[in-house]
Each structure stands twice: as structure tokens, then as C-alpha cells.
Structure 1
């Protein structure tokens, strides 16, 4: 996240080969058990190019051969991605009204992040209509040890947490915690408090408060945070925002089936 004035994101760009692969997946999803020639006819591309892309998608598990080996249908990885997407979409659908409510209450940016390996990804955001605000970018990744992502690291199983801390920890600012022992103590306090505070760990002028969102299996499904320019977050307001984001996380956790709210046992 970066603090900036109002304005749109930078324009993206498209990669032709990725577009083409997605076109093939869309055709196979809507018309399973087509052969390479049939798919080429639908898309208008050369059979040779179609065949190379089919082989690549098959190797990655996105497609698999039909019974006779001459046609294609979606593979197991497509199922994995589909299930993950369905889970995240349900999470976002439940989170959006809560994010909007707390955002309107504090008039600061609200972000929802999920974990992928040793990183987190922003999957939803709410931003206030004010000229200077924290701008959250959907899809932006952060490592687990800095900023709002620390909440995931704090609640990882001990063995996974120690494995992560044994590796090099990237420093973003002078306030980023990169000493394993110091960070481990900090993570313990996060578990005790039930929320995390980041003051200048990712960007010097950025402050965030984050709470974990738990699911029915008591695992951390997501993290919800309030992010603000440091100038708008004195100690008194920081305390109020911590209470607000914990309440929001409790609401979302309960909607996702966790009856006790987002506090660890």
C-alpha cells in the first residue's frame, strides 16, 4: 500500500499467450470433450499453436485427456483453483459490508488480505472519499513478517513460524523487525492482544491495525485492517481503531462459522 492523492491505478497490459491460454480454458469449460481441431476451429487459431498450448495446460494439470485420449476436459488443477476462488469469493462477499461499515466509521482505508504460502495478497479493499488516503492495490503481495501480514505469522503453528523466522527477513524501513528473537516476542504479544499494529514497517508514513478472521476450523482465513497516513493516527485514535478492527473481525469470523470470535485459545 502507498499513501497518495486521489486517482486511478496505472494502466495494465495484456500478455497474448496468457490470453490465448484462457480462451482455450473457457472453450473447454463450456464445451468439454472437444479435440484439438475442434478447439482450433472455435478459436480460429492454427492447429499447431493450439496443440502446443493444450500440451502445456495438460502438463500443468489445467486440462486432461478424455477417455480415448483425443479430446480435452478441465483437469484437477482447474478444480483446485475453482474451489479456492469460490472460497475467496464467499469470504469477500461476507467481508464487503463489514469493511464498508468500519471504513465509514473511521474514514480510512480498509483492506482484506489472505495468505498464500509465505506471502499475503490483498483481495478486497474499501477507500474513503478524501484526497489523501492509503491506496490499497488488489493483488499486491507482502511477506509475512512486515506490516499487516504479521497477523498471519503470529497465528501460524509454531513449527511453521520458526521455519519462516529461520530465513532471511527483508527490511523495508528502519522500523521493519528483522531480528528473529525480537520478532518472535512481538508475534507473541500479537497473539495475546488479538491484533497487530504496524507503524512505519512497510512505509515510513503508513500506520495500520490488523485483526485475524477465523473460520469454523479455527484457522486464520484472512486479515482485516485499517490503514492510515501516520499524521492521522495519534495514540488516542490508534487505540480506537484497534477496537474497531477487532469488532469487525469478530463480526466476519462469526459469519464464517467461528462462534467465539477472533481470539486464540
Structure 2
């Protein structure tokens, strides 16, 4: 029995090591990061962090930029390049640009991770206005606030939504919904309408309209986001219609792998 326990423990170690390496990679958001800074960000003893960096160094996921300074390694960049070529969100580029041109505002593609219960912007076509919303791409954000998030959450399974609520609904601004009952009522309306609007929920003075990309598993949405004053000047029915049509086009494209590949090849 002791031998079985020891074997199970060894089998779990690679996953724990991978988790630690991924945590390190997630913090390397600058050209290079020092050991002390990494240890502070991860709240990890330097000795433990050094073992993780050594493991990542052996596979070229990280490299030494200078003594004590670490940077992303070539193996990381190779894997990232492969992932970019295969990512279906590349198929959204022209659709977002056309939505941007039709509305004059920044168009976004948002994706949701049901395991993390968070979402992020993964593609954008920025508005040409001097004053515009500039998205922070590839940063995880809460899934309970903002039109682009709620357009997805409304179509997620009920038990998944309940689990999200149980973790707490933080107030990102004074208008963020923090009550599960209020949020459920709002999500029911989004399911009925087929689109979502939000005002000041994540960023003050910002407004957005979003529609879900309706595939068998809804994990993404298309949105338009802008300063609230400017978005209020556009009739909601018109804005919703443009956003829904863009989301439907993307759903059709992603539902046809050959069409998605062709669109991706153009970018």
C-alpha cells in the first residue's frame, strides 16, 4: 500500500511542476524579470522558484537574459507561434474590422474559460476616434460584468453559473451586479433578446453591446465598446443588429473548419 501511495505521488508531481512553471510564465510580461521580483509576485521562496526556473530552462521555456534576469525562451515562442496559427479567433479579424467600420467603435472578440470562470479579450479592431477604448488583450477578467462577458454567461449551464456566484461577485464599479438574483434576471433577458448592453460595469464612462457566438458550446462573444456618451447616440436596435449579425457570421465560419482556415490565411 505504501508503494502504491508513493507511485501515485510521483505521478502527480509532473502536474504540480507544470502548474508552477505556468505560474512563472504568466508573470513574465516584461522583456526580462529578476528572480526577486518573480519571487515577490508569486509569493514563493527563491529556493523553490529556482528549482522551477531550472526545470523551465532545461526545456527552453525560459532563458537567462542576464545574471539573475529571466526571459521567455525560444521553445515558448515556438509553441506560441504554433498556437497562433491554429487559433480559431484569427478567423474573426475581418469580421471585427467590418463591425468597427460600421459602428465607428472598437470591436472585440471575447473568450470564456469555464474552468477558470473568467474571460478575456483575444482580438480587437480599434476605433479610429482619438478618444476610444483600448482593450487589454489576453488578460483574464471577471465573467460577471460587462456586456461581452454577460453575452456568454447567459448561455452557460445553470450549475456553472451558480458555482460562479458562490465564489462571490466582486463590485468592479458602483454599477456592477453583485446579487445572484439580479444577475440571473438580467441573463434571462439577454437569452430572450439575443444580445447584451452594459454601462460603466467594468470601466467607468464606457458602454458596450455584445452578442454570443452561438455554437454548441457558447464560449465567446463579439462586442462593440466605446465611451458611453458616443454609444448613447447610436440607436440600440441598430447597434444590437450589427453586433448580432457579426456574431452569427463568426459562428457560421467557426462551424465550418474550411471557412475558418481560409479566413485565418488572409490575416
TM-score grouping bracket, smaller chain normalisation: 0.5 to 0.7
**Paired residues of 1:153 and 1:187 also in contact (CA < 8 A):** yes
1:13 to 25, 30, 41: 30
Gap change, CA 1:95 and 1:182, over 3 Å in 2: same
1:206·1:230 contact (CA, 8 Å) conserved in 2? yes
The 8 Å contact of residues 127 and 133 in structure 2, kept in 1 or not, is answered as no
Distance 1:17 1:196, change over 3 A: same
Q: How far did residue 127 of structure 1 move?
A: 1.1
Deviation at 1:57, TM superposition (A): 6.9
Q: CA RMSD in A?
A: 3.4
CA distance in 1, matches of 2:34, 2:111: 28
Structure 2 regions of 5+ residues with no counterpart? Answer: 1-28, 36-49, 62-76, 257-267
Deviation for aligned residue 1:91:
2.1
Q: For residue 149 of structure 1, report the CA deviation from its aligned partner.
A: 1.1
**TM-score, normalised by the number of residues in structure 1:** 0.65
SS of residue matched to 1:122: strand
What TM-score do the two structures reach when normalised by structure 2? 0.65
SS across alignment from 2:202: coil
Secondary structure at the counterpart of residue 225 of structure 2: strand
Any conservation in 1 of the 2:105–2:128 contact (CA below 8 Å)? no
- The alignment status of 1:212 with 2:212, answered yes or no, reads yes
Return the alpha-carbon distance in structure 1 between the equivalents of residues 80 and 154 of structure 2. Answer: 27
2-side partners of 1:155 and 1:17: how far apart? 43
1:175 Cα shift? 1.2
Question: Which of 219, 238, 241 lines up with 1:240 in the alignment?
Answer: 238
In the superposition, relative to structure 1, how do residues 172 and 16 fare at CA in structure 2: closer, same or farther (>3 Å)? Answer: closer
Matched pairs, number: 200
Match of 1:102 among 99, 102, 105: 99
User: By how many angstroms is 1:128 displaced?
Assistant: 2.0
Displacement of 1:141 in angstroms is 2.5
1:123: which partner in 2? 122
Once the two structures are TM-superposed, the CA of residue 13 in structure 1 deviates from its matched residue by 2.6
Query: Structure 1: where are the runs of 5+ without partners?
Result: 1-11, 19-49, 63-77, 259-265
Helix, strand or coil: the match of 2:133?
A: strand
Cα separation, partners in 2 of 1:134 and 1:54, compared to 1, 3 Å: same
Distance 1:98 1:187, change over 3 A: same
Relative to 1, partners in 2 of residues 1:214 and 1:52: Cα closer, same or farther, differing over 3 Å? same
Distance (Å, rounded) in 2 between the aligned partners of 1:52 and 1:207: 42
For each residue in 1:212-232, what CA deviation from the matched residue of structure 2 results, as whole angstroms up to 9, or x when unmatched? 1133xx112421100011111
Q: Which residue of 1 aligns with 2:184?
A: 184
SS at match of 2:235: helix
Preserved CA contact (<8 Å) 1:214 1:256: no
Which residue in 2 is equivalent to 1:47?
none
Number of the residue aligned with 2:155: 155
Query: Could you say which residue in structure 2 is the equivalent of 1:40?
Result: none
* Counterparts in 2 of 1:166 and 1:81: CA distance versus 1, 3 Å: farther
Q: What residue in structure 2 maps to residue 134 of structure 1?
A: 133
For the residues of structure 2 that align with 1:13 and 1:81, how far apart are their CA atoms? 16
Structure 1 position 133, deviation (Å): 1.0
